[in-house]
Structure 1
Amino acid sequence: MVIDNRYTIDARIARGGMATVYLAHDQRLDRPVALKVMHPYLAESVDFVQRFRREARAAARILHPGVVSVYDQGVIHGQGYLVMELVDGTTLRSLLTAQGTFTVEQALRYTCDVLEALRAAHRVGVIHRDIKPENVLVPTEGTVKVTDFGLARAASEVSMSTTGSMLGTVAYVAPEVASSNTADARTDLYAAGIMLVEMITGRIPWAGESPLQIAHHHVSDDVPLPSAEVDWLPREIDDLVAALTARDPNERLGSAQDAIDATQRVIAAIPDDIAQRRADRPESTMPSTGTKTTAIVVDTLTANLPAQIQTTSQAVVHASGATSAVATEGKGRRRRAPKIIAALIILIIVASLGGWWWWSEYGPGSYLTMPETTGRSTTAVQSDLQAMGLGVVIEEEFSDDVPKGKIITSDPEGGAPVHKRADVRLVSSKGVDMKVVPDVVGQTRQQATTALTDAGLVLGNVAEEYSEDVKSGHVISQKVKAKSSVPHDTSIDIVLSKGREPIGVPKIVGTEASAAKKTLEDLGLVASSSEAFSDTVPEGTIISQEPEAATTLHRGDTVSYVVSKGPELVTVPNVVGKQRDEAISILEAAGLKVEVHNVLGGVFGTSRYTDPDAGTSVRKGSTIALYVV
């Protein structure tokens, strides 16, 4: 049987609880593969195919030497199938059954290998849910491999939705799965811890009890420590098992990486004599505790035997009565001759027709030559193929090199032979993958990077400038305008704000007012002046400033300063004819000092004149001579 015009079934390898595994040959890539076909009961659920495809895609994302690779997936007659890596070796279950127990070093090494595979799966969001020896393969060379990622979840969802029961192996089921059917990465670590116990002691915890009792123990009791079975085991083994199998997931090791680190510390701490020691084989083997999933492995490749062709010779020669026997036989032969000839003619015709049928259906006559495809118009190639009677499956992909509407590649390729009833897969170019540039102005650098990544673009050069309007660390501008359509490999340059530009205040005290104003405005500062009289600072010169020199401001901030108006002048008031005391009061009220000079003794006390004369402008505080008669 050929699946999907590609995979030839050679032999059945095994049958498990969820699927039957076949040895198959990939005609396209010319390699042996394991083909796992899900059982029909799983296909009865309308949701199973979608779940199966989703989980298969998730499992295919796991790229790790310790994980059995998923090559392809599909559906045949309503049953999902997986095409997987064919592993030459055995299962951990078979090896454990053969040996009974492993050395401490061997058990820890296998545990570490399984945890490495789980770490790779957990990083891409895939939880196994069914870790057990049947799902761990031991190749003839290299590290062990874990298989059936994602399948347990798809099958369990179907089982829960159809029967309300949980699909899984109860010996390795975590308490949270048994009680509420919830699972996360720590669920796989629990099962790995149970496997470690089994590999060292040769028995699963609570062996011999019913599945229901075992499930109850997982929920209600701590896993018995290995040293209870094997008294010479060091405490490090017990501590590792306890950390992996804590009933409360929050008390378990938090991740596969944490479990790897803990296991490696135990390996380093155990003495060599203990590491190479093995527990005695238990008297009884482990009972079946749940639904088993057959591993993809070839212990002995079994080919289909050709049908036996049995021939029976009935020609017997008798010693007596030879003459009559020959005569009778001769007459019989003459009577049978026409029938034999007719039979031979019919046989020749049938053989000819059969040969022609084989030649035209499976032989050289059943093959056509593919037309050239690469670089040609998709419509033209499709027309050529349909004219040849071939089926056409068109897929579209973006291409930086092949123009839109042209063929990127085909399977088979142009010029290659193709069966006349085959479907040809054409990959048509959608042209360059164009992306719409998002608007990142005003965003932080991290936000801009995320927005560009989500849009399928990358961040280019990042320049920095001061900005009075945009906060520090936010995008001022972008090189390519938002909502523009650009090729997917275009890098988008941006300018980030360094915040407001700091400006040091210059010293302007003692400088000429107009020059100081220009200096401040050239720096982007606002000049605010006032005036005051000064007896010491020349007119038009800066007396003081606020803030002081060397203070840090920003563009648009104000610097206030006081400009000297020179000395303050007053006009000498006219006090002629005034009595001495009144005249003195008037002059002092004007801000002047008074020096009195009595003329002829100043008998009358009347002001005669002043020096300087009345009406003269003098500095405020000047001394005025008052002459009194």
Structure 2
Amino acid sequence: MTSETEFEPDNRSDEHIDADGQDSSMPADPLIGLLVDDRYRIQARLARGGMATVYVAHDERLDRPVALKVIHPHLAESADFVARFRREARAAARIVSPGVVSVFDQGVIHGQGFLVMELIDGTNLRALLQAQGAFTVSQSLQYTQDILEALRAAHRVGVIHRDIKPENVLVPSEGPVRVTDFGLARAASEVSMSTTGSMLGTVAYMAPEIATTGVCDARTDIYAVGIMLNEMLTGAVPWQGETAMQMAYHHVNDSVPLPSEFEPWIPRELDDLVAALAAKDPEDRPLDAQEALDLLLRARASIPAEIAGKRAEVEAAEEDGEHKTAALGLVELTAPLPAQKLPATSQAIVHVSGGVTQVAHRKTRRSRFGKLAALIVSLLIVGVVGGLWWWHEYGPGSYITMPVTDGRTVTDVENDLRTLHLKFQEREDFSDTVQTGIVISTTPGSQERVHKRAEVLVVVSKGVDMRTAPNLKGMATDAAKNALTSSGLAVGNVTEDWSEDVEKGKVISQSVEAGSSIRHDTSVDFVVSKGREPLSVPALGGKSADEVRQTLESMGLVPEATEAFSSTVAQGTVISQETAAGTTLHRGDKVQYTVSKGPETVEVPTVQGLQESQARSALEAAGLQVRVERFMGGLFGTVRSSDPAAGTVVPRGTTVTLTIV
């Protein structure tokens, strides 16, 4: 870094913006109207940034509008930059993603390198942030997801952006946001490092390692995304308002402030996400955009709907719809059949044949005796025949005994009913005790007396009523109970347990695997999350490092030990803990503490033959105390010997006795 100005945030757009022409207040641009590479006709200037000027051009070969980015002359003067620029442009052109502005072509005009890129109809994220102040949680997470998906495509082909910031994120009228300027920042930075020893970049989004070592990898882009997410949620970058050098100092030495420090309603999940993406140490960040996406999607799934619609100082209203249902009824109507009357007659003879009664009229000229005899005979015949008819149609003779039905196959039972000339109707029903195809019951029942013209109802088993277990995971408790009831299953034991992955109040697991077929009378147990388990940090002072590590790991915490010399605490014993005892953490959180390396030791330097002052200086420089004994008055002032002798390893601060002659 050569000066503060190289780290001042560049709020001018480096990419395409909505514009139909050129500002009349701007001086005439000599490139307007120029035909570049016998193909691209420059029509208007869109924007001018720190590294390039962007024009609207027309591709006369393919008859389409494009964006033409011409690199500034001060960069084009470097042959090294031009070579790097071409190499990076080829690398950027390999990125294929809906979230990346496509690079179509590259070349040189008037000694200046240019890129031909996709022309985006829309604004950039910086302009949108300025217009809205801050985004809703849902909007912020969606933009962040789009950016990470674009970076994932770039990281997969080995391209690092190095200058992720709102100005380089375009917001089209449709589709995901688009990331632009891949490779351009790297070419400019490498030339700047080789010529001036400074690293170009926008300091507000600059990862600490860029300022300290200049080393960049995928995690450098992830850091910038974390800063942008913080800005989208709160409306400001961390340490906003401070000078560029102060901001760079904070990035290197301090952790990024969490969004909830400025907006207390922002949930812990978003704080954790920002902290992970913008961790000061690259080793604590996601390895690449794919790992960062996984973290974001988990955080997004845990955000309640009422939080997703909120933004800084803004509360969005939500409307709920209603479902209305109507019940349909069935009406059955019956109508009586009219009764039929037989004609009356004074002389009716009843003939009974085959159960059918016929009435006929006959004139008789018998004598009175004959008439009386005939009447008696007729009455006897009618009585006998009528009695027989009644016996067989309505009396005891009209009833037969049902066959044995229960527990037999439906085929056998129905064959027996046909043999007895009994009509029957079959109905299937579930049974917990009777297997499929076996008769559960009949009406009339097995071996009961039944009229020969009756219709028998045969109930056949369909087997056990089996139901499909619903997937309860991720449901709220009431929703899970309703799902079981709707599936015809019973709600079993509902218990609670801690979970690191499942939001509080949502189902973690169920006793029956989702989608499995189970009996209708099965009770399904499920476990509901109590959220992340709070863990209290134990007191570690005076314990051995091995004991502390085992204790913390058994609790699910991550031990993070540093070492320090101590003249009072034995080697391998905990001196102090930076994560205070009693602090509430969760599984996977780090516990920091310091382990003694024992007293610091030094080697007694060789001072024999030196003058007293020289010997004293050498010993004190080594951290040792000096005591002098003079032999014969120490006339010559020369060191004859030391105690302990030279080369002896002693604790720092040990007193060395010099014998002076």
Larger Cα-atom Rg: 1
TM-score, normalising length: structure 2: 0.42
Q: Larger RCO: Structure 1 or Structure 2 (Cα < 8 Å, ≥ 6 residues apart)?
A: 1
TM-score, normalising length: structure 1: 0.44
